[in-house]
């Protein structure tokens, strides 16, 4: 994967680390997926599609790339799932501590174990808003807790976990599921107030982990495990926009793009959804306005001695 290119072909002045408010970390990892392989190709397909996307967003009347988007080197650690999770955790935390809005693109959902751990260590009262067809609550799967089927188990124990769009799970996962904070797809389809109910269950600081298989396979066929009965484009945007408007979304990851070389539309959807989320995050903010990701000051003080290498990528 090339690291020379800028995200979406944006000009260099908006892609440099020092000035960029937004960090994009590709994690091309597919070590534990069970059926459709290929999410390791997700970040590359996502980046290629991004280059073919208009950078002006009609809905928000913004060009969010002017806030600065720095594409980091991909995290390629794959000696074990645990080593990958540790690498994601470390890198994510470093950029949070540099006061950036940190985003990641996978790769399979096990990467989010590292994402969530990093954000949870840096932000108080964190909600993990888990948007997915699958509950991903297993304590371990195939002998490891660093499996995509376990992506939010740790979050269920350590954060305010809210799950949206769920339509596939094992009965054992009910053990770890909070019924009040779980929004099943079959209920959402008959409830015009589901968005309000989800937002009521969130704390102020929200990390979004977005598994693309939450979307209906008719618009997002390129995932490892496409489940019928998913969300559609405009309801997804309505929902995300309200979350960004009403809460402090501190970062997000987007996972499980498993590209199909014969159909690029799903890659393009992922690219556009990512850009939409950035547009919602920064709407109403001038490009020259300073960004403050408001990470926990106690955390900052306790770790003041940590050193960062400005030239690491
Ligand atoms: Mn899933």
| Contact (Cβ atoms closer than 8 angstroms) between residue 96 and residue 132 | no
Confidence at residue 299, expressed as pLDDT on a 0 to 100 scale: 56
Confidence tier at 31 by pLDDT (50, 70, 90)? confident
Confidence tier at 5 by pLDDT (50, 70, 90)? confident
Q: Which residues surround ligand 1, an ion (CB under 5 A)?
A: 132-134, 211, 213
Confidence at residue 270, expressed as pLDDT on a 0 to 100 scale: 98
Please tell me which residue, 34 or 22, carries the higher pLDDT value.
22
Locate 177 and state its tokens: 């599921």
Give me the half-sphere count of Cα atoms (radius 13 Å) on the Cβ side of residue 275.
29
Tens-digit pLDDT profile for residues 243-277: 999 999 999 999 999 999 999 999 999 999 999 99
Q: Kindly give the distance from the C-alpha atom of residue 15 to the centroid of ligand 1, in angstroms, as a whole number.
A: 31
Pick from 129, 186, 196: nearest CA to 156:
129
DSSP state of 283: T
Q: Kindly give the distance from the C-alpha atom of residue 297 to the centroid of ligand 1, in angstroms, as a whole number.
A: 34
- What number is the average pLDDT over the span 176-187? 97
pLDDT at 123 over 50: yes
Give me the half-sphere count of Cα atoms (radius 13 Å) on the Cβ side of residue 16.
5
Confidence at residue 303, expressed as pLDDT on a 0 to 100 scale: 54
Please tell me which residue, 210 or 31, carries the higher pLDDT value.
210
Q: Kindly give the distance from the C-alpha atom of residue 122 to the centroid of ligand 1, in angstroms, as a whole number.
A: 26
Confidence at residue 4, expressed as pLDDT on a 0 to 100 scale: 59
Length of the chain: 313
Q: Kindly give the distance from the C-alpha atom of residue 119 to the centroid of ligand 1, in angstroms, as a whole number.
A: 21
Query: What's the Cα-to-Cα distance from 308 to each of 67, 98, 173, rounded to whole Å?
Result: 23, 9, 39
Q: What share of the chain is helix, strand, coil (3-state, %, to 5)?
A: 40, 20, 45
Give me the half-sphere count of Cα atoms (radius 13 Å) on the Cβ side of residue 118.
27
Confidence tier at 37 by pLDDT (50, 70, 90)? confident
CA angle 39, 45, 50 (to 5 degrees): 135
Q: Kindly give the distance from the C-alpha atom of residue 148 to the centroid of ligand 1, in angstroms, as a whole number.
A: 8
Q: Kindly give the distance from the C-alpha atom of residue 137 to the centroid of ligand 1, in angstroms, as a whole number.
A: 11
Q: Kindly give the distance from the C-alpha atom of residue 4 to the centroid of ligand 1, in angstroms, as a whole number.
A: 31
Locate 14 and state its tokens: 């908006």
Confidence tier at 306 by pLDDT (50, 70, 90)? very low
Look over the chain and give the mean of its residue pLDDT values, rounded to a whole number: 92
Please tell me which residue, 5 or 114, carries the higher pLDDT value.
114
DSSP state of 101: E
Instruction: Report how many helices (DSSP H) and strands (DSSP E) the chain contains, helices first.
Output: 9, 8
DSSP state of 155: H
Locate 27 and state its tokens: 């994690």
Q: Kindly give the distance from the C-alpha atom of residue 37 to the centroid of ligand 1, in angstroms, as a whole number.
A: 13
Q: Kindly give the distance from the C-alpha atom of residue 234 to the centroid of ligand 1, in angstroms, as a whole number.
A: 20
Confidence at residue 313, expressed as pLDDT on a 0 to 100 scale: 41
Mode of pairing for the β-strands spanning 205-211 and 248-255: parallel
Q: Which phi-psi region, left, alpha or beta, contains residue 28 (left: φ > 0; alpha: ψ -120 to 50)?
A: beta
Q: Kindly give the distance from the C-alpha atom of residue 221 to the centroid of ligand 1, in angstroms, as a whole number.
A: 12
Domains of the chain: 7-282 (3.40.800.10)
pTM recorded for the entire structure: 0.93
Longest dimension (CA), the chain: 52
């Amino acid at each position: 994967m090339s690291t020379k290119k800028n995200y979406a072909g944006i000009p260099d002045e908006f892609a440099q680390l020092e000035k960029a408010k937004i960090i994009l970390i590709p994690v091309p990892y597919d070590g534990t997926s069970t059926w459709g392989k290929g999410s390791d190709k997700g970040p590359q397909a996502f980046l290629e599609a991004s280059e073919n996307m208009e950078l002006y967003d009609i809905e928000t009347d913004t060009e969010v790339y002017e806030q600065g988007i720095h594409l980091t080197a991909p995290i390629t650690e794959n000696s074990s799932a645990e080593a990958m999770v540790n690498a994601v955790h470390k890198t994510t935390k470093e950029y949070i501590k540099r006061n950036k809005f940190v985003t990641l693109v996978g790769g399979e959902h096990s990467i989010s174990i590292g994402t969530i751990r990093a954000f949870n260590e840096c932000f108080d009262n964190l909600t993990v808003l888990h948007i997915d067809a699958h509950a991903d609550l297993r304590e371990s799967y195939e002998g490891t807790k660093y499996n995509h089927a376990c992506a939010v188990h740790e979050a269920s124990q350590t954060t305010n976990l809210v799950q949206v769009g769920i339509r596939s799970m094992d009965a054992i996962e009910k053990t770890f599921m909070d019924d009040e904070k779980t929004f099943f797809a079959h209920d959402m389809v008959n409830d015009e107030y589901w968005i309000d109910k989800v937002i009521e269950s969130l704390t102020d600081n929200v990390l979004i982990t977005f598994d693309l298989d939450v979307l209906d396979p008719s618009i997002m066929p390129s995932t490892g495990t496409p489940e019928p009965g998913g969300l559609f484009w405009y309801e997804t945007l309505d929902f995300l926009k309200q979350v960004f408007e009403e809460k402090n979304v501190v970062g997000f990851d987007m996972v499980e793009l498993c590209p199909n070389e014969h159909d690029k539309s799903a890659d393009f959807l992922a690219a556009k959804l990512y850009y939409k989320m950035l547009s919602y995050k920064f709407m109403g903010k001038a490009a020259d306005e300073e960004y403050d990701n408001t990470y926990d000051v106690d955390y900052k003080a306790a770790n003041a001695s940590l050193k960062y290498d400005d030239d690491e990528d």
